Every structure is written in structure tokens, then in C-alpha cells.
Amino acid sequence: MRRRGGESREGGGGLLHTLLEAGSLDAAKSKYGHVDLGDDAILGTGGKGAEDKKKQRNLLALDKWSSQELLCLQNERKIIRPDGILIDRTAFVVTGHPVPDGWSSTHFETLQEAVAAADDGQILVVQAGRHSVGSRPLFLDKRLRIEGVKDRNAVPDPSALVPRIPDVQRLKDPDTTQVDLEYVRSEARIFSDYGEPVIVVNASGVQVLGLTISQRINFRMKDHGDLQGLLARTAVDIIGGSSVFRECSFSSDAGVACRVQGGSSPFFSKCEFEFSAHQGLWVGDGSTGRVEDCRFAECRLANLQIESGADPVILRCKIFQSYGCGVRVTDKGKGLLMGNQIYSNKSSNVCVDDEAEPIFRGNAVYEGSADGIMVMSNGLGTFEDNDIRNNDGSGVVIMSGGEPTLSMNTIHRNRAHGIFVTGDGHGFIRRNEIFQNVLAGIYIDAESNPSISHNRVSNGLGTGITVADDGEGRIEDNDIFLNKLCGIEVRTGGNPLVQANRIYEGIGVVMVVLPGVGVKVTNDGRGTFRENQQQIYRNSHAGVVLENGANPIFEGNAIFEGETDGVNCSSYSTGEFVKNKIMKNTLMGVVITRHANPKFVQNEVSGGADFRWRIPAGGSWKGTMWGRRVGRKTLSDGERAGIRIESDGKPLIEKDNRVHDGYEDGILVSWGGAGVIRGNRIYQNKKSGIRIDGGNPLLRKNMIYLGCLHGCLVTGKSSARIERNDFFQNQVCAIRVDGGSAPVLKKNLIHDGKGDGLVVGSTGRGVYELNRIFMNAGAGVKVEKNADPELLENQINNGNGVGLHLQPGAKGRYVGNDIAANYGDQLRIEGNKLGSGDLYFENNRVDWSFQPSFKHPDLAPIIRQQLASHLPEGQQGLPRGAGDSDRRMSASSSSSLLDLIADARPDSKSMTLKHTSSLAKDFEHFSSKKLSQTLPVRKMR
């Protein structure tokens, strides 16, 4: 072929511009003087003279055209405007129909003929129309450029589907003019009808542009089973080299639309992979490559599948409406997928399995008919900065040993869980935004053990995080808030490690049981919740709920500002609470009910508006509570207390708990309650420090002080044991026993009260032995009407009032007590008759030198009269003042007042007391000094 001599492209554009401007073949002939030569002259086949030959032109033999100067030929040989494909004078043309004589050097009927004649680097232009390769694939093993000619004006809307023609109809009418390709994108269509590949590429430098490549089946295939991967049929098979496909469309009725194997590295740009029996694009066998701005749709299996160590780059593609997965990466496949839209697939939008390790970054994965992303069967992979939303299943599913890394993703509005980890799933879930999912934000079960950190899990219609069915996991430093059921739920054997999280503002749902709980552990759930910075607060229900055999460990958490309780334990739950701060909750700080059995160690509880600790009716709470601090409450009912122990409650409350500043009782032990209360500080409560109303606890070695009413109130027929406690600075009395109660008080210190020391009220009974009662502002011991106590070897001294005050009708047995140094009377008996059997005295020692009634002229006659009226006949001589110091009463009669005065002298300055309390072993005798200077009183902390 010759160059066109004397023609310049700059000078008006030459023949091509003339043809384009003329608009028709006849006008071009007239301009060049070829009126009589016919169409063939213009095409380079006519003309006999030298001058005529100079004018004869092959329009495809011109110099290289610009991208807007391509001449296209159609069957009618009419000229249309070019569509932008760049060709040069050496290009071969594939016509798809017989080539006229003289054209054989540049025009070929079939692609096979053109490829066979082409040299390395040849350009092949595929003319508009249908081109069949028959049963022989087009084998490309050299550097070629194959360009399909397109008419842009003939291209319909790319999304407009054209119905497929059934095979039966195609066989009946093989010359049908109906278009049977799914998308009409190109006028150049290449197909095979025998299940063989259309194109096989095994060379670098191959370029295919603007072709529609389809593998069709027009016969019944033999059933060889469901062949996959390298064994499957395929329309385009790239088995080696680096090739380029631009603006092509691939489909296959028999198998894979395009298969990449053999370590090849193709480049796909603006291509379509669609309507295939298997995958749209299959990349495997260690291949790489790059796929940009492509569309994958309507494949029966995965639209895109990467496997066998392949590592392609997939950018800005649309992958949708597959009957299987949108993207599947399997068998140690890799790949980098960025900026893609993966949506509306029937199975999972993305599936990663069998040790595959892809990277998904910046993709939108949404509106799948199942799950958004599934990682299973030991699949790995990294998922970063993806938007995973609106899937009918869960946003992400990790199962069967899958271990992906999810970071900085947005996972929201999925119709199941945000992330579902099951079946021994693992993985790292970090810095994700997980919100507005219908079920749990993150759900872990079936022995799964993921690591979850620095996420924000919020606004879920269910729980924030659920761990169930022996699931585990490390949940660390997350923000879990505004979930409608629970922030974290652990149940049915779940055992996570939860630390340094912020779990707050659970909002609850009307008519839902326990709405808005911060942490709920139930149905044998376990787990460890720890670290000081973990905060559980502002939840619309309890901060922590334990029930149905739950057994977690809470250590170093802050549980506060809940709208109901801080901690609620019930239904045989156990567990351990260590060094937590439970404060400012609206109702109870702790509720323990229905046979719960938790253990509390060194917790600090304060704030709130109701009970601080409650062990309600039906509870059999036998746990240990150590080091709790209970702070100020806003209380309103008479049945509210700092710690409440009800029927069958049997707690062990010990080791420096601080129960203080309550607006009512510090500890309330009601009907049937028991347990051990040991080694605590109970102070500054508005009513009693400890109120025992029908319960039978053991109080030992507590400090009970600064109560606004009683230090301890015992009522309701209680039989409590109160031993070795220190009662001081209580407002009304240190201990009051009433309501038919019969406690045992032994070796207690009762001192420095602002009222009475010990008061045995109406119908009160009990045994009071070896107690030290001193320096109280009122009576040391007051026994009211019908009370019937037994006081044995107590020391009642140095009080500002009466030592022992028996009101009218008082009863009881008083043996071996020391009564001395009280600033009021040592003994005051009002209208009681000695020796009648109801009032029994024996071996009591009284220091009469501190009997003001004997010295004061107004009081002495009254005391003499009271004492004289109760002495036996013949023993009316009584001490009549300080001068009667030599007179003694005999101690032989157990029914007379003489028993009260043995070894007592009115003028004595001191007396020796029997050491009956181990708390006063360093105390030898009383003197004019104040008792507080000699008694070792414990200091307040």
C-alpha cells in the first residue's frame, strides 16, 4: 500500500475530511473525479491509467488518523462518522463476510485468518456485525491489537436488558436478526456456539478493544459434572502474558466469562462480565492483573472469583445481582479491591474462605440478599474503610476459623447483626463504626474468640455486643451506647474478657423486659469485666444485671448514674465484684435476689436515690462483699436502707465496708434475713446504722457510729448475735432492743453516745454479757416496762446519766455487773419490787460515791424511799450520806438491795473492777480521770 502523496493532514484534513464533510460516497466520488469507476475505485480496486491510479485510494491505507478520524465500513459500504479508535495504514480488517478480489492483503473474512496473517504488533479492526469462531478458538500468541468498530449512535442505554433468545428458537431460525446478547454495547460481536473458548491469550502485548465476546451453547452438552476453576468452560481464557482488554463485554452460557490463569497479568478497563453460567471473571493460578471501572452482573456463581494464590487489583467496579456471591476470594487467593460497589447479590456480597487473604479498602457493600461480607473456613483478609450497610443478613459474618482484620469500617442498618462471629471464628475488629443494626451490633458465639477494640457500637435495636454459647473474645476500649436492650450481653456459657470500655446511655424499649441495661450476664454466662477506666453509666435500667446462674468477674469498673439499679443479681447467679465503684444510681446500688450468690471484694458504692445494697425477699445470697463504700442517697420510704437483707438472705459482709450517709438505715436485715456482718464501718445514716427487723444476723467487730437515731435497732422478734462491736457517738441510743426480740450482745463497746447506751424496750429480752458501756450522755442501760433482759458481768461506768435505769414494770436478771463512776445515779429503780421473781439481782458491784441522789437534798429522800420500800424487813438501815461510809449491806441475800452494794464505800475515791472485756485489758482501775483518757478508743478513718 502506498502513502498518499502530496496530501497534508494539516491542509484541510485531506481525503478523510473531505469524505466526512461530503457526508456521502457519491459526493466524495464527484470531488475526486471517480464518477465512472464505481464503488470499487474508491476502495482501491479500480482505475487503469497512471493518473487514475494516483487518485485511487484505499481509505484504510492512509497515514495514522487522530482519535476522531476513523473510517468505518459496513456491509453496504457506506461511510459513517468514526468512533475514536486509532488505526494506522497497516491495519487488517475483519469483515465477517467474503472479501472481494483484490482485498485479500488487508481484509479477512474471519479472525482466525487475520491473526494467522498478522505479524507481531499488527492492528486488527473487527468490522461491525457478528463473527463466529466456530469450533476453533482464536489463539493469540503474539503481540496484536484487536479493535471492535462501534457506532455510538446505535448503542442503547447500557442498563437496558435485551431478552435472550432460547436455543430452540435459534436452531429453528438461525438467520434471525434479533439481538441475543444481554447488553448491546458494540457492533462487533464474537461468539462460539460449540462450548469452546472464543479467545485464548498466551502472549504479552495483546490488546482487545470494544468487542462483545460470548460463549454460547446451541446443543445439549454431556453431563461432566459441575466443573469449576481450571476445568470449567470459558469464553476468554488468558493463560499467560500481559494483555489489555478495554470496553469489552464477556459472557458464557457454558461456564466462566473470562478466566485468568498461568501467572498472567491482564488489564481490564471499562469491561462487562455478565450473564455467565459460572463466574464472570475468574482469576487464579498465581495470576495478577488489574481491573478498573468494570461491571460484573447476573452470573450464576460469583461475579468475581479470586483463588489459588492470585493477587489482582480491582478498582472502581460495580459488582451486583449475582445469583451467588458478588466477590469470592478462596484457596489462598489475595487481591486488592478498592473503591468498588458490591451490592444486590443473592448470596453474600463478599465471601472469603480457605486461607484467602485479600484487602478490601474503601468499598461500598450493601443491599445483599444475605450477608454483606462472609469470612469462613480459615479465611483471612483485611477490610478497611468500607461502608457495609442495608444487607438482609449480617453486615459481616466470621465463622469456621475465619480470622480477618476489620478496621475503620462503617457497618450499619443491617437487618441482622452488624458483625456475627460464630463457629470458632476469630479476627481483629478495630476502630469501626457499628450502628443501627436490627439485632446485635456484634454477636459472638460457638467458641469464637475475636479481638474487639476501639469501636463505637451504638443505636442498635437489640444489644450492642452479645457473647453466647461458649463464645469468648477480648472486648477492649470500645464505646457502646444508645442500644435499646443491653450494651453488652453474655449468656449461655459466653466467657469474654471485657476491659476499659465505656458502656452508657442504653435507651430501652417500652414493654421489653430489662430495657436499656448496661451489661447483662445470664443463663450461665461468665466473663471478666475489668480495668478502672471501664465505665457503665447512664443506662435506663440497671448498670449490671446477673441472672440465671451467671458467674462473671467484675473488677475495677465504674457503674454509675443508672436510672434504676447499679447492680442487679438474681436467679442463682454468682460471680465476683472486685474494686468497682457503684455510685449515683437512681434506685438501688446493688440488688441481690432469688438465690443469687455473688462475691463482692473491695467495691466502692456511693450516690443514688434508693437502696444502696439490697438482698430482697426470696434471695439466698451467700456471697462475700468486701470494702464497699456506700454514699449519700435521696431516700423517701421507711423500707429503704444502704444494705437490705431479706428472707433467706445470708450474706457475708466483711472487711472494712463503709456504709454511710444514707437517709434511712445503713443496713436493714428484715424477716428471715441472716448472714454475717463483720469488720465494717457504718456511720452517719439518718436512721439506724443497723436495723434488724425479724432477721437473725451475726454482727461482729463493726464500728457503728454517728447515727442520727440508733446505732443498732433490734426488733421484730429477732435473735441476732452482736459481738465485739464498737458503738459510739450515736444520737438517740447505741442499741435498742424491742418488739419481743431476744438478741445476744457480748463484749461490745458502747460509749460516747449522745443519748442512752443500751435500751431494752417493751417486751425486749435477750442476753447482754461482758459489754463495756461508758461515757454516754443518757443512761448507760435503760430497761423499759415489761422488758425482761439478762445482764451478765457488764461494766457500766463513766456515763453522764444514770448507770442502770429500771423503769416501772421492768424485769430481768442482773448478775455480776460493775456500775461505777456515772455522773447520774449508779442505779435507779422506779416502782419495781425486788425479790418478786421478775427482778433478780446477784453479785453486782456499785460505787455509791457517785450516787448524786444521796448528796443532793432533793434527790436523797426519793432514793431512800425507793430503796427502803424494796428492802426486806429488818434491813431498813441504808446509807444516809457521805458520813455513813462504814455501813455495808450484806451480800448474802440474793433478793435484797444489799447484793448491789457489796464492797462499796460512799467515800471511796476509786474501786477495782473485774477485767471482763478483752478490749480493756490495759485498763486497771477507775479514778477521777475521764474514762476516755484510759480507754483505747478506735479512731475514725
What was the pLDDT predicted at 169? 53
Do 374 and 401 touch, CB atoms closer than 8 A? no
Q: Tell me the C-alpha distance between 432 and 454, whole Å.
A: 7
Q: Tell me the C-alpha distance between 625 and 597, whole Å.
A: 11
Q: Tell me the C-alpha distance between 458 and 450, whole Å.
A: 19
| CA 24 to each of CA 32, 38, 45, 82, 683: distance values in angstroms, whole numbers, following the listed order | 13, 14, 19, 14, 109
Q: In terms of Cα–Cα distance, which of 770, 809, 766, 812 is closest to 792?
A: 770
The mean pLDDT values, 10 residues at a time, for the chain of 941 residues are 34 38 42 36 37 39 35 35 40 77 75 91 82 88 85 35 42 44 56 87 92 81 67 92 93 92 94 93 95 95 95 96 95 96 96 96 96 96 97 96 96 96 95 96 95 95 93 94 91 92 79 70 92 80 89 90 84 84 79 77 64 51 45 38 72 77 80 83 88 91 92 93 94 93 95 94 93 93 93 92 89 92 84 68 81 54 48 39 33 34 35 30 34 35 35
Q: Tell me the C-alpha distance between 274 and 272, whole Å.
A: 6
> Measured in whole angstroms, how far is the alpha carbon of residue 741 from the centre of its chain?
51
> Measured in whole angstroms, how far is the alpha carbon of residue 206 from the centre of its chain?
53
Q: Tell me the C-alpha distance between 612 and 686, whole Å.
A: 14
Q: Tell me the C-alpha distance between 565 and 555, whole Å.
A: 18
Q: Tell me the C-alpha distance between 589 and 745, whole Å.
A: 30
Give me the residue spans of the domains in the chain. Answer: 714-849
| The C-alpha cell that represents 743 in the structure block | 438478741
Residue type at 270 in one-letter notation: K
List, for residues 854-907, the tens digit of each pLDDT value.
554 444 444 444 444 444 444 333 333 333 333 333 233 333 333 333 333 333
> Measured in whole angstroms, how far is the alpha carbon of residue 532 from the centre of its chain?
18
H/E segment holding residue 365: strand 364-366
What was the pLDDT predicted at 886? 34
**pTM for the complete prediction?**
0.71
What was the pLDDT predicted at 646? 73
What spatial distance separates the first Cα and last Cα of the chain, rounded to whole Å? 110
CB proximity list for 222: less than 8 A, separation 6 or greater: none
| The C-alpha cell that represents 303 in the structure block | 461475579
| The C-alpha cell that represents 404 in the structure block | 480477618
| The C-alpha cell that represents 716 in the structure block | 421484730
| The C-alpha cell that represents 207 in the structure block | 490488546
CB proximity list for 882: less than 8 A, separation 6 or greater: 854, 855, 906, 907
Q: What is the DSSP string of 601-644?
A: ES-EEEEESS-SEEE-TT-----EEES-EE------STT-EEEE
What was the pLDDT predicted at 687? 87
H/E segment holding residue 405: strand 405-407
Do 405 and 428 touch, CB atoms closer than 8 A? yes
The 3-state DSSP class for residue 170 equals helix
Q: In terms of Cα–Cα distance, which of 604, 614, 561, 608 is closest to 581?
A: 604
Residue with cell 500468541: 141
Burial class (CB in 10 A: 0-12, 13-18, 19+), 220: exposed
Do 712 and 730 touch, CB atoms closer than 8 A? no
Beta bridge partners of 692: 669, 714
The 3-state DSSP class for residue 229 equals helix
H/E segment holding residue 171: helix 167-172
| The C-alpha cell that represents 360 in the structure block | 478490601
Phi and psi angles of residue 92, each rounded to the nearest 5 degrees, phi first: -95, 150
H/E segment holding residue 116: helix 111-117
Residue type at 553 in one-letter notation: I
Q: Tell me the C-alpha distance between 752 and 733, whole Å.
A: 10
Do 562 and 585 touch, CB atoms closer than 8 A? yes
H/E segment holding residue 869: helix 860-870
